[in-house]
């Protein structure tokens, strides 16, 4: 079982998702972002960077996050990291269609790109990862894209090649929506995603 830490920003969404809900059992440590520079990560296996993390404090600690990854650890980023600080990728803004499901013959624009990764064979379905998107990533070709748009841009991908660790990056923002008490799919997503981080094959 992996020890999971969250870079904790103190927003109501972070509080509900990572401290006050059923998902708190998966989190071993919430590290206040203003204390992150001096916090020890020696016993941490997985570091989650939540969606809508305070950009100023985040960028003050990019080197520490990379140092953590380069020790063979796992970094998870949720929500759109638009400043392109993630390793070897390109961010692309796309307008968000919050109401796509009301259109005739509605389609989310998402597709699964692998049938072998256990996250989407054991823990999640594509429906659990479907609400809306806030943009896409274009990672290097040797990354594993699990969830993509119909034109091939990554919404969820795993990077095992561009540092000595593993980066799990998604433009999806389940913690924000669950913490804001709306978007039922995000509850299902977290019920699969966090157990996978805790015990799954990564």
User: What is the C-alpha to C-alpha distance for residues 26 and 115, in angstroms, rounded to an integer?
Assistant: 26
User: What is the C-alpha to C-alpha distance for residues 188 and 193, in angstroms, rounded to an integer?
Assistant: 9
Which are the contacts of 96, defined by CB distance < 8 A and separation ≥ 6?
132, 133, 134
Quote the pLDDT of residue 120. 94
pLDDT tens digits for 123-166?
Answer: 999 899 988 778 899 999 999 999 999 899 999 999 999 999 99
Q: Where would I find the beta strands (DSSP E) of the chain?
A: 4-8, 29-32, 46-49, 74-77, 89-92, 110-112, 136-139, 144-149, 154-159, 166-170
What are the residues facing 169 on neighbouring strands? Answer: 77, 157
pLDDT tens digits for 175-184?
Answer: 998 988 888 8
pLDDT tens digits for 40-90?
Answer: 999 999 999 999 998 899 999 999 999 999 999 999 999 988 778 999 988
| Number of other residues whose CB lies within 10 A of the CB of residue 187 | 15
pTM of the entire predicted model: 0.94
Closest CA to 33 of 13, 63, 10: 10
Domains and CATH numbers, the chain: 4-199 (3.40.50.880)
């Amino acid at each position: 079982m992996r020890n999971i830490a969250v870079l904790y920003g103190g927003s109501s969404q972070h509080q509900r998702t990572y401290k006050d809900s059923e998902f708190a059992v998966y989190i071993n440590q919430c590290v206040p972002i203003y204390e992150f520079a001096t916090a020890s990560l020696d016993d941490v296996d997985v570091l989650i960077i939540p969606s809508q993390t305070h950009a100023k404090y985040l960028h003050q600690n990019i080197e520490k996050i990379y140092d953590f990854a380069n020790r063979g650890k796992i970094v998870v980023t949720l929500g759109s990291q638009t400043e392109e600080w993630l390793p070897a990728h390109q961010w692309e803004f796309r307008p968000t269609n919050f109401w796509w499901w009301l259109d005739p013959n509605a389609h989310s624009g998402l597709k699964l790109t692998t049938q072998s990764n256990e996250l989407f064979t054991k823990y999640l379905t594509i429906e659990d990862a479907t609400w809306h998107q806030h943009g896409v990533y274009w990672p290097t070709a040797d990354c594993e894209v699990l969830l993509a748009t119909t034109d091939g841009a990554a919404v969820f991908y795993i990077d095992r090649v561009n540092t000595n660790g593993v980066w799990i990056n998604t433009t999806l923002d389940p913690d924000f929506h669950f913490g804001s008490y709306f978007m039922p799919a995000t509850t299902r997503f977290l019920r699969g995603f966090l157990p996978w981080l805790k015990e799954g094959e990564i």
